[in-house]
Amino acid sequence: MRWIIFVVVYVLLDIYAYQVFRTISRYSWIYYLYLFFSLVILANILYQFNSGSGEGWAGAKSYAIGFFLVFFLPKLIFFIFMFGEDVVRFIVATFRKIGNNSNNFSLPSRRKFISQVALGLAAVPFASMLYGMYKGRYNFRVLKHTLYFDDLPAAFDGYRISQISDIHSGSFDNPEKIKYGVDLLKEQQSDVIFFTGDLVNNKATEMDDWKEMFSSVKARDGVYSILGNHDYGDYVQWESTAAKEANLERLKDVHAEMGWNLLLNEHRFLERDGEKIALVGVENWGAGGFKKKGDLDKAGAGLSAKDFKVLLSHDPSHWEEKVRYDEKHYQLTLSGHTHGMQFGIEIPGWIKWSPVQYRYKHWAGVYKELGRAMNVNRGFGFLAYPGRVGIWPEITVIELKKGPKPA
């Protein structure tokens, strides 16, 4: 039933899109060509999601989603303009009929100008989504932040942290571009590197082609990692519960084989000149139906509010609902998960917007509340839509400084 509704909506939007091309051009082959491509896109996405493929939202399914969005977003713009014009045409026709006391009711012709405006505006998301698939998904950026804490141990003043999140290796298809991103991470030469979850889309085998590359990521104080919601294999069908559990154990082994220290509701200490900070890592804890295996009490057992703590927790909703109120005072939390929805507009100092903000209050960048701070990484990889528009793949570098922030 859901696919019938989906097809009906798609065809309805296409009717309005067809009218745009028909109003603008007198060459019928143009709008017939558009309809051909539109139907191919529809047929492909229906096939991909009803063929029984077990690959999740990656591979051919991912590209089906991508090209669907490339065509669907412009259709919405066409619909808004054309339906709006239909409302105006209906009102004008009604007043003409009443004013002329006529029995005839006829709608005015469509105005070419309206269709031209609609086409011009629709070209923006069309071109942007194509760019996001061609180049944006590997447009890696290094974002740097300096965070000040009064209770930071003096030995860690100037300590540098690199964070990546949401690798989603099952979506990768360009080793050269991924190597560029990994090399960019290594070039930061931070004291420690943190990975905050979602190494794969679903299966541990997705890392087979990328494990060697990510094994080259090193830091003086090590690489620490946690699990994200996708790492548990919840989004594909397994032949048995045992197979699913074996996949998770294999994924844990992958972390170890890469030399990454996987934290599973536990903590470790980093020491420097006789002082230390605690690294706390929890399993996934997410609001809104996501897995809640994270156990903050267990992970922080034995720690006190006086200890300086860096918490790794994949989903930022954990910080919003629990962490920021915890009596142990987790000074800094590092999260990911949202990807910034891989789509939005960011102009530093001017605007920061993505549709994901209507789902997550804390969705990208640094947030400070109640004397605590959190950074939400926009993600290294991508999922479902095989691209990024405006929200680029991110490597975060955070420098810890002792004392108040300078005025």
Task: Please identify which residue in the block is written with the tokens 């900070």.
Answer: 277
Q: What is the structure's pLDDT at 380?
A: 98
Q: What is the CATH number of domain 136-402?
A: 3.60.21.10
Over 70: is that where the pLDDT of 44 sits?
yes
CA dihedral 337, 341, 342, 346 (to 10 degrees): -110
DSSP H helical segments within 230-379, as ranges?
A: 241-257, 296-299, 316-321
Q: What is the structure's pLDDT at 329?
A: 96
Pairwise CA distance, residues 77 & 62, whole Å: 23
pLDDT digits (tens, 9 = 90+) for 236-249: 889 999 999 999 99
Q: What angle do CA 379, 382, 384 make, to 5 degrees?
A: 140
Contact 195, 164 (CB under 8 A): yes
Pairwise CA distance, residues 333 & 323, whole Å: 8
Contact 179, 213 (CB under 8 A): yes
Over 70: is that where the pLDDT of 55 sits?
no
Could you say which DSSP state residue 230 is in? Answer: G
Over 60: is that where the pLDDT of 394 sits?
yes
Confidence bin at 98 (pLDDT 50/70/90): confident
Whole-number percent of the chain with pLDDT over 90: 75
pLDDT digits (tens, 9 = 90+) for 153-212: 999 999 999 999 999 999 999 999 999 999 999 999 999 999 999 999 999 999 999 999
pLDDT digits (tens, 9 = 90+) for 87-97: 888 888 787 76
Residues pairing with 160 in the sheet:
399
pLDDT digits (tens, 9 = 90+) for 101-142: 666 666 667 888 888 999 999 999 999 999 999 999 999 999
DSSP reduced 3-state for 350: coil
Q: What is the structure's pLDDT at 103?
A: 65
Over 90: is that where the pLDDT of 60 sits?
no
Sorted by where each begins, the domain ranges of the chain are 2-131, 136-402
DSSP reduced 3-state for 398: strand
Contact 199, 251 (CB under 8 A): yes
Per-residue pLDDT, averaged over 326-339, amounts to: 97
Q: What is the structure's pLDDT at 85?
A: 85
pLDDT digits (tens, 9 = 90+) for 241-298: 999 999 999 999 999 999 999 999 999 999 999 999 999 999 999 998 899 999 999 9
DSSP reduced 3-state for 101: coil
Q: What is the structure's pLDDT at 111?
A: 84
Q: What is the structure's pLDDT at 90?
A: 84
